[in-house]
Structures are given as structure tokens and as C-alpha cells.
Amino acid sequence: IPRTEALSVAAEGNAVVELRWLFCLALYGVVSAFGYVGATLIKTAWLAGAFALAGKASASGSSRAFFAPSVLMLAIVASNARLILRPEIVTYLLLALFLFVIVRIREGRLRARAAWALPALVVLWVNAHTLFVLGPLVVTAWAVTETLFAKQERNSARLAWIVAVAAWAACFVNPYGAQSLVFAWQIFGEARESVFKDVIAELQSPLKFGFGYSAVIGLAGLTAFAAGIGLSALRRLDPFLTIVTAAMLVLAWSAVRNIPLFALAAIPFCLRHAPVVDRAALRVALSGSTIILCAFVAWAMSTDRLHLWQNESNQFGAGLAEHRFPLDSLDALQARRLPSPVLNAMEFGGLLMRARQPYYVDPRLEVYGEATYREYFSLSHDDEALRAVIEKYGFRTAFLSLNSPLVPRLLALEGWRIAWFDEAGCVLTTADVPSDAVERALEAMLNRLGEPVRYERAGAFQRVSSPQPYQRVAEFLLTLGRNDEALVLAQRALRAYPHGVGVRTTLGNALYAVGRDEEAQEQFALAVRADPEDAAAWESLGALQATAGEWEDARASLRRATALSPESANAWRWLAHAAAQTGDLIAASDALQRVVTLAPRDATAWWDLARVEASRGLRAQAVEALRRANALAPAHRGIAADLVALLVALGEAEAAKEVVRRFEAAADTRDDDLRTAVGM
């Protein structure tokens, strides 16, 4: 059981509180004995048990029982994106079991002594998942409601409080003692204030994803269903179920990862309070619509269409999803004994941990702290930060996702090259690699991918193909300058699913790279028509329009791009260029100010800003921008020449001479033209 970090160089020696150790140990045993297929099947049975317990918790009576399929269907649809093999499945089952025991005791259908099982279950919970505090909180809610609302029987309140105290005490029965509660609070903080909040999808509100996702539709439907039933039973609401369901509802709408918690609580709430409906027509309509919707969801999920429509990488079946994990790249990294430690994508940290390979970072915020993650995220846009991290930890190998912004940045550094890649990740290194490494990796990857099933020609019950692996590899090949191969993969992505997010943008970029500008512009136009919120498509369209001299159209497209993605320095740069070409120097200056704010170490951006300010007659601002550019790139002759000319015009001859001396020293050359300009 770990107590200090040993593999991650960014957190070496830091305290580790791994409350999920029991789940990890159990999963290791299951996978060792039954493989990934067996683990998936056991997970499915486990989750079915959780929803079954929630459905059986409250007595609904035969007149209300026909509501059960509808409620269960909505709950499962709402939860579908989170029903994956992770430690939280322990929380799902135990939450359902706690509700089952408490509700049945309250309804007199289970002996009170069964409540003593709850503290024992907390011991299991605290050693398997970080949301163990839900157990004691649910028991405390039971005790509070028994105290406030029990009219006659006071023994029930006494029992509930004793069990609640025992449940809280059980939280300390773990290898870390009281640290478990501190850790639980840290995990709660991740969803509220941490740097994770804006970059980890599961910590974001379902509202951010919109109603194009079945989970959000299911959550909204279940919320409306529960609210309607609650309003119809306003005078007979069970206080315990109402408090628990309302609390879980708040959690669900605050973060995607909490949706199943509300789904499981809503099931007994809805069945307990469902109205008695004797009208046969209504019962037939409700049952019929539920059957139709269940059949549709089952068909869409089993043929992978549901995942395709939602731009997910999940796949129906047992075992590992194909083309999703960079296992081939990990094997190559280990087989070639590339230097350690490894500069890695955060999401690949777990794979390197499993391989016992020293690495940079993984998603455990509580182990690293905010500062390390800020450092990690800065690498994607700050070359100096990247160089500093490489020097600090001695990285000579990197294990990254194909579309990581670090890939082109590392390849631009001296000595870094591609060692291997697959459909999900790539390995870069400064060590020696075979000269044909890229060709061999590409051949192996193409053999695995093959041709996709054409979405528009797929049979009704034929499984469809995801465009994502083809799209990822196409974008990666564009980074490597292998444009013809990239175009082939981009075309396959389009055949797999022409409506996929970013598919036409990727194809447009590939067409532009091979010189087919008109076709590229057509694809970008189709992309923004299909998805007006696609910032990358608007940016690419605007850049191509600017290249073609369509300045006003370019400005319109780039305004949309920067509105959708205000952090894109490249979009602001193109917008400044288009604005300058149309004579709007104020807009050009404003756009370039955004560029240098986003990329303060970009010498070219400061140079562009200086030229715009000079054109506006703002010499002081132009000099300041040129000084910034010159400090960042003292060997850049164009920047030095412009700064010299402006300083001479302002009568600052000595300052101009100093610029010339600095340029000659940095460039290791003598420049007679600049010397003449300043009278040296």
C-alpha cells in the first residue's frame, strides 16, 4: 500500500493517500484470472446489481410498478457515460445498498438490526473509493429525518444516530487513518476550484456539453420525471428520500461524474412517490414508449452509433476498446529501452506507472498540487517552460498523445525525433532510433486500422467505425509533413463518419497541405455549416480566405473563431493580418495585443505589433514593442533593422548603436549596412 510517490519525478517523495487500493487489488486479481473480457462482464453484472437494488429499495405496489421500467431506463441512459470500469462503481453499488437497507427499515420490510451492516460496509467503502463519505452522510440524513419527522417511534432515531456515529468511526479504518477524510475533502475541492476544473471533462457541469449527449438528455428527463412525481406527492413526500435525492441532484448538475449518484437515488424516490394510475390507456402509452426507447438505445449502443453520434471513443462489447490506448507505443518504448524518466501526457501516467517506468505526471492532483499542474499545462504554449522542464528532470524520451501541442515543439528542438507511434500515442526521443522508424510505425498502424465501415452504407444492424483514430493519425502526419499519407487517413475518417466533430476540418487541412486550396476551403465551409461552434474550422477557413485575399470574409470568419476560442493566438494573429490589409489598424493593433498577451515570448508577434503601431504614428509604442522583440530575438536582423531605423528617426543614436552591437554579437557577424545607418 503506497505512502510516498516513487515513480513520478515531479512528485517524488510526496505523500500518497491511495484509498482505492482495495479496488485496484481486486481489479488486478480479476484481470489476471479472467482477462479484460472477464473484468468487463463482472463490471456489467455489478452495475446491474446496483440498479436492481435501487429499484427494489422502496415498495411501490402493483399499481405503481409499471413506472419502474421508465425510471430505470432514464436512470441508465443518464448514467451511461459513467458506467465504466473505475473505482466509482464501488460507490454506485454501496450507495444503492445503503438506500436499500435504510428505506426498507423505514418501511418496516427489513429488521432494524440490518442497519449494523452499514458501518461494516463503510470499512469496505473507505478502502475502495474516495467518495466513501457518502455512506456516513446518507446514514446521518436518515438519523436527522428520524429525529425531526418520526411522530411516535423514538427508538428508530436512537438507532439511526448510533449507526451514524459508527459509520463515521468506520471511516478511520484504513491504512491512512484520519487522512482519509482530509483526502476526501481534497477530492471534493478538485470539482470546485482546482486547475482541473476547466480541463477535465468529468468535473464540468453537464450543461457545458449541451443536449447533444444522451447522458444530458437522460439527466434532464430523469430530473423532470422526479420533479413531476415529487410535485404530485408534495403532501406525502418521504423526508429521507427527498433529502438524499435533492442532494444528489445538485451534485449531478454540478459535475458529470456525479450523474449516476442522482440516478440511483431518483429510482427509489420516484417509485416510492409515483401516483396510482388506473387508466389503461396511460399505462399502455407509458409502457409502449419505454419499450420503444429502450429498443432504440439498445440498438444504437450495440451498433456503436450512440458513441459515434456523441463523439465518444467508447465501444460496445467486452474487453479493451480498439484503437483507443497507445499500447503499441508503450511496448516500443520499453522494448527499445529508451532513456528514463519519460515526459508524458498526463493521461498516459497510469500506463507508465503500470509498466514501472519513471515518468513526469499523472492525474492525481492530491499527490502533485496545483503548482505542478500549472507547470504541466504551460508546456503546451511556453517554449522556455518546456526547455526548463526538460533540463530540470533530464527528459530524453516523451510519451504523448498524437495531437499534443508538445509534439511539434519537441520536434523543433535539436535532437528530438519520432521513435514510434500508433493510433493513440507517440514516442519521441533524443536517443538513436532506426532511420525507418516512422515508415515501420505507419505500416503497422495502417494494417491495424484498415478501411472503415462507411457510415452511409452500413447495414441497420452492422457496427459502424469511429473516425477518431483515422483523424488523429491524419493530424499527426500533417505535423510530420507527411501530407499525402495524411490526406488518405483524413479521407478515411470522412468515410467513417462525415458528421464527426472536426472531421471536415482535418480533411480541409490535409487538402490545403497538398495544394488543393479550393477543395480545402469547401471542406472548411461545410464544417462551419455543420457545426457553427467549431472554432478550429472557422480559424482554418479564415486563414485560407486571407491567403486568397478575401480579406472581409476572412475577418468575419476569424472574428467568429476568436469569439469561440479566445485563447487561440494563431486566430488572433490571422485576424490582425486581415484587419491590417483592410486598413483597420486599430483592430489590427487590438488583435496583436491579444497575441502578445497569449504568447509573450513570441518575437514575431511583438515585431508585427511594432509595425502596426508605427503605421499608426505611435512611435513610442512601436519602439517598446520592438525592444521586446529584440530582447527575445537579438540575432533577428529584420527586428534589429526596424528598431535601429526608428531609434535613429527619434534621435536616439547611442541606443541605436547599442542595438547594432547586440545584433552583431548575437549573430556573430559584422553588418556594415546597420553600422552605416547609425554612423559607426
Q: Burial of 371 by CB count in 10 Å (0-12 exposed, 13-18 middle, 19+ buried)?
A: exposed
**pLDDT tens-digit series, residues 540-596:** 999 999 999 999 999 999 999 999 999 999 999 999 999 999 999 999 999 999 999
Question: What pLDDT score was predicted for residue 194?
Answer: 59
- Higher local confidence (pLDDT), 262 or 191: 262
Task: Name which of 1, 83, 101 is nearest 46 in CA terms.
Answer: 83
Residues sharing a CB contact under 8 Å with residue 577, sequence separation 6 or more, in sequence order: 546, 588
Q: What's the rounded Cα separation, in Å, for the pair 624 and 610?
A: 8
Q: Which three cell numbers stand for residue 304?
A: 456503436
310-314, 373-377, 434-438, 485-489: the lowest-pLDDT one: 310-314
This prediction's pTM = 0.87
Read off the C-alpha cell for 399.
510519451
Confidence of residue 676 (pLDDT cuts 50, 70, 90): confident
**pLDDT of amino acid 6:** 92
Q: Give the DSSP H/E element, type plus range, for residue 375.
A: helix 370-378
Which backbone phi and psi does 317 adopt, to 5 degrees?
130, -175
Please tell me the number of Cα atoms within 13 Å of 216 on its side-chain side: 14
Which range is least confidently modeled, 206-210, 242-246, 495-499? 206-210
Q: Where in the chain is the domain with CATH 1.25.40.10?
A: 450-525, 532-594, 602-680
- One CATH from 1.25.40.10, 3.40.50.720, 3.30.300.210, 3.40.1190.20 for 532-594: 1.25.40.10
Options 3.40.50.300, 3.30.2310.20, 3.40.30.10, 1.25.40.10; CATH of 602-680: 1.25.40.10
* Residue pair 189/130 in contact by the 8 Å Cβ criterion: no
Read off the pLDDT of residues 343-393 as tens digits, 9 standing for 90 and up: 999 999 999 999 999 999 999 888 888 889 889 999 988 888 999 999 999
Least confident span in 217-231, 311-325, 518-532:
311-325
Q: Can you tell me whether residue 428 is helix, strand or coil?
A: strand
**Whether residue 117 has pLDDT greater than 60:** yes
Per DSSP, the residues of 659-676 read HHHHHHHHHTS--HHHHH
- Residues 6 or more apart whose Cβ sits within 8 Å of residue 429: 338, 339, 396, 397, 398, 416, 417, 419
Grid cell listed for 326: 497507445
Q: In sequence order, what DSSP letters do the residues of 618-653 get, joined into one string? A: -HHHHHHHHHHHHHH-TT-HHHHHHHHHHHHHTT-H
Three cell numbers written together for 601: 515570448
Residue 151 confidence (pLDDT): 62
Please state, rounded to an integer, the average pLDDT across all residues of the chain.
92
CB distance 220 to 214 below 8 Å? no
Whether the Cβ atoms of residue 427 and residue 331 lie closer than 8 Å to each other = no
Instruction: For residues 42-59, give the mean pLDDT.
Output: 93
Spatial separation of the C-alpha atoms in residues 579 and 592, rounded to whole Å: 10
The answer on pLDDT for 154 being more than 90 is no
198 burial class (0-12, 13-18, 19+ CB within 10 angstroms)? exposed
pLDDT tens per residue across span 177-195: 998 888 888 777 665 665 6
CA distance 655 to 647: 7
Stretch 404-424: mean pLDDT: 95
Look at domain 450-525 and name its CATH class: mainly alpha
For the chain, the residue count is: 680
What average pLDDT does this structure show over 32-51? 96
What ranges in 548-636 are assigned the alpha helix state H?
A: 551-564, 569-581, 585-598, 603-615, 619-632
Distance, in Å, from the CA atom of 249 to the CA atom of 263, rounded to the nearest integer, reads 8
Within 10 Å of residue 541's Cβ, how many Cβ atoms?
A: 28
